[in-house]
Structure 1
Amino acid sequence: MIKRNRTKLSLVVGAVCATMLTLATPAAHAGTAEDDHSATLAALKAFQASAGPGAAIHAGGPGESWTLSAGTGTINSDRPIKSDEHFRIGSQTKTFTAVVLLQLVDEGKVSLDAPIADYLPGVVTGNGYDGTRITVRQLLQHTSGLAAYTPQVVIDKPESNPDGTYELAELVRKGLSFAPVSAPGAGFTYSNTNYLILGMLVEKVTGQRVHETVTRRVIEPLGLGRTVFPAPGQRALPTPAVNGYHGLRVGGFYLWTPALTYDPSLFSSAGAVISTLEDLTTFYQALVAGRVLSASGLAEMQKVREVGPKVGFGLGIGRKELSCGIVAWGHDGGVPGYFSQTMVTENGRHASVVTNALFQVNAPVDQMHDLLDTALCEDAARRS
């Protein structure tokens, strides 16, 4: 969700071999929503023209939802992305992880302002780091001073287990090999390492693997039937699924190759969850409506630090004031093959978008924000 002065990470840097050259003339698929939401459709087409083979948005207001798509979910075919198809949500996972931590705070098992060393002694140490000075709150809000870090699929990968899975402790060790960027609390630096450490914290406090805890505490109670936090080794997407790609755009042409396969434990509590546009809408709406956390827990989550004009980041969730004056909450995410974002308002408006490619350069961040802003503000104008 956040324009982090371009510090929002792309979760993979890898070599891409082009396998297809196609003229970029995407079709649009919308049904009656195409006529009712023409401004959003135009913004979707503009986004998809700079994004992957396909893109879709699932949006609406209280009691109403609609879906628009452009391009294709599968290259060499005319197959629109649908709102109930699975994809990897990347860093939107962080909101799920933050919810679990705040539930543990509600239960008195974790203190937001306690140092992480109280719970994980000896983990955040060395290379200029001191876990006695870094709090749980700072990890949740990316103000810990930890360096930006992205686990890599191809180059400079963390050390894996013999079966190709990854341990959180090894991912954290790799992240901490990069020197601090600031003193704890002094600045905002978005880093996966913060949420990998928080995954270790969840496991230490609950005695369960983080994917099990998020499933039991968040996914199952909300009835998110098409949302999965995959276990280590569970590499396949459930069906139906959006196919993900790597790619390169050159003028009106694009080159696509299927996204690289990786083990979900590589991103774990920072980015492993699989979901759909519909389920993400349900999750964020329930969260903002106060049906997931206590009132005090939600209030803590929504205490934001300003990170840009009209943009703030709380504890695992971002806040943005839209062009029509509405405040929206949500998060974005990118992993190999997918770039997505969900935003909801406190009065029931919602918009969730995905494209089936992730770009390392010239990522269509601005176009995505314009699309979400258009959808949420267009719906507000229709209801006013």
Structure 2
Amino acid sequence: MIIRLAAATTTALLLATTPAAATPPRHPRVQQAVDNLTRKHDLPGAQLRLNGTHVFTSGKGDLGTGAPIPRDSTARIGSITKTFVATVVLQLAAEGRLTLEDTVGQHLPGLINRNGNDGNRITVRQLLQHTSGLPEHVGELEGRGYEKVRYGHFTAQDLLDIALNHQPDFAPGTQWRYSNTGYVVAGLLIEKLTGHRWGEEVTRRIIKPLGLRDTSVPTEDDLGLPGPHARGYQILEDGRRADFTRLNTTAFHAAGAMISTSADLTRFFDTLVNGDLLPPAQHADLTRTVPSGDGWGYGLGINARDLPCGVRWWGHAGSVFGWFTYSAVTTTGRKASIIVNQAYLTDAQSNGVGEAINAAFCP
């Protein structure tokens, strides 16, 4: 549901072998890769924003009218929400409100103590790093059917109740496994420490200071997308493609509820990765990675990937009903953000996204 870029992109990401150039005057390889997403991989529409200004589009943002994805289209960014949430938690650590080695139980006693899950053994770092062992709530939600879940209203406790019906995936700190549940807990931790909703803290600490005018956290039961936007499509269980533009995001909470644009995402990641949102100690924590499979590294709410052309990029993917997004930057000034108006992607489609990232970072 709300995941990092699929491991299937590994093959595509390893195809880049030419040295990274400065800023090339033309980008035919980028446009070709974006076109492949719609023409070869049968996705409705795609947009890639390169270095904040160059925008490449292909296909249709609206299958009914045939209009392309608008240049400044808003989109649901799914798990990229996690990077915003992790940044707020790290800011709270910088303020002395908690440490990353604090346990969940110190701040939220008893919240996740069930069926062998124990908040007194799980640290804040492990929540953000996906090494907590907390079981996933997403699979059971999906099992209820996409069309049933899309309009459902869920509290954070509802989501935790689903997850905590299961035993831990592993002992805290012993393995890596993606956990949306961990970020639901991280959102509740922000609320406990600040007295404000997690979305209010994201807005106050990140969205407003950076001037991210088209980035927002939907209020409960706000089903629409603001501003110009494409339609978001979901492949249903029977193979039909359905319009999922309207969506209740309470099922995703702090793991994946936010809305943004490719321009805003580029600005956010560029500012974060280059050290302007966190003090040095917390920035070091952000970018200290553990292996997460297939050559990927995961820090605190952020992925890292080394490409053969000598580029290391930092970013995150988001996949949520109707949308796939990815935003990544390098410390040498290259930036790319992708919007695809369909979820979820097949391995071949994910590889196509990887090829587009290659084209952006290894021209």
The two structures share one fold, judged by TM-score above 0.5:
yes
User: Under TM normalisation by the shorter chain, which class is it?
Assistant: 0.7 to 0.9
- Identify which of 339, 351, 376 aligns with 2:324: 339
Whole-angstrom distance in 1 between the partners of 2:354 and 2:174: 28
Change (3 A) 1:374 1:55: same
Supply the AA of the counterpart residue of 2:158: E
| Alignment match, 1:50 | 41
SS of equivalent to 1:46: helix
Output the amino acid matched with 1:46. Answer: N
Q: Is the 8 A contact 1:140 1:195 kept in 2?
A: yes
Shift of residue 261 of structure 1?
Answer: 3.8
1:327 aligns with 2:327: no
* Structure having greater relative contact order (Cα 8 Å, sep ≥ 6): 2
Query: Which deviates more, 75-84 or 187-196?
Result: 75-84
Q: Relative to 1, partners in 2 of residues 1:164 and 1:336: Cα closer, same or farther, differing over 3 Å?
A: closer
Partners of 1:135 and 1:51 in 2: how far apart? Answer: 42
| Partners of 1:147 and 1:189 within 8 A in 2 | no
Question: Where does residue 299 of structure 2 map in the other structure?
Answer: 314
Q: Equivalent residue for 2:27?
A: 37
Mapped partners of 1:356, 1:51: distance in 2: 11
Q: 2:252 — aligned with what?
A: 267
In the alignment, what sits opposite 2:241? 256
Q: What is the alpha-carbon distance in structure 1 between the residues aligned to residue 63 and residue 94 of structure 2?
A: 47
8 Å Cα contact 1:151-1:267 kept in structure 2: no
Check if 1:372 corresponds to 2:360. Answer: no
Q: State the TM-score, normalized to the length of structure 2.
A: 0.87
Does the aligned pair in 2 maintain the 1:287–1:293 contact within 8 Å? Answer: yes
Aligned to 2:11: none
Give the drift of 1:309.
4.1
Residue 76 of structure 1, CA deviation: 3.4
Q: Deviations over 1:104-126 (max 9, x none)?
A: 00000011011110000001111
Measure the CA separation in 2 of the matches of 1:154 and 1:142: 21
| Partner in structure 2 of residue 232 of structure 1 | 220
Task: Give how far 1:361 is off.
Answer: 4.8
Structure 1: segments with no counterpart, 5+ residues: 7-32, 249-253, 379-384
Shift of 1:312: 0.2
Identity, in percent, stands at: 37
- CA gap 1:360/1:311 in 2 versus in 1, 3 angstroms: closer
Post-superposition CA distance 1:291-341 (Å, at most 9, x none): 111111111000000123432000000000123110000000011100110
2:176 pairs, out of 188, 195, 202, with: 188
RMSD (Å) for aligned C-alpha atoms: 2.5
CA distance in structure 2 between the aligned counterparts of 1:363 and 1:245, rounded to whole angstroms? 18
What does residue 235 of structure 2 align with?
247
Q: Which amino acid aligns with 1:305?
A: V
Does 1:282 find its partner at 2:250?
no
- Cα shift readout 1:164-197 (whole Å, capped 9, x = no counterpart): 5322122122222222111101111101000000
SS class of match (1:129):
coil
Match in the other structure for 2:336: 351
Letter matched to residue 200 of structure 2: E
3-state SS of paired residue (1:126): coil
Amino acid at match of 1:333: G
Counterparts of 2:42 and 2:172, CA distance in 1: 36
AA in 1 matched with 2:50: A
Q: When the two structures are superposed, what TM-score results if normalisation uses the length of structure 1?
A: 0.83
State the SS of the aligned residue for 1:36.
Answer: coil
SS in structure 1 at match of 2:332: coil
Count of residue pairs brought into register by the alignment? 341
SS of equivalent residue, structure 1 residue 331:
strand
User: Is 1:299 equivalent to 2:289 in the alignment?
Assistant: no
Q: Is the 8 A contact 1:319 1:328 kept in 2?
A: yes
Q: What runs of 5+ residues in structure 2 fail to find an aligned partner?
A: 9-22
Give the AA of the match of 1:331. H
Q: Which stretch shifts more, 197-206 or 46-55?
A: 46-55
Instruction: Select the residue among 108, 121, 136 that pairs with 1:148.
Output: 136
C-alpha deviation, 1:65, in angstroms: 2.3
DSSP 3-state at the match of 1:47: helix
| Residue pair 1:34, 1:41 contacting (<8 A) in 2 also | no
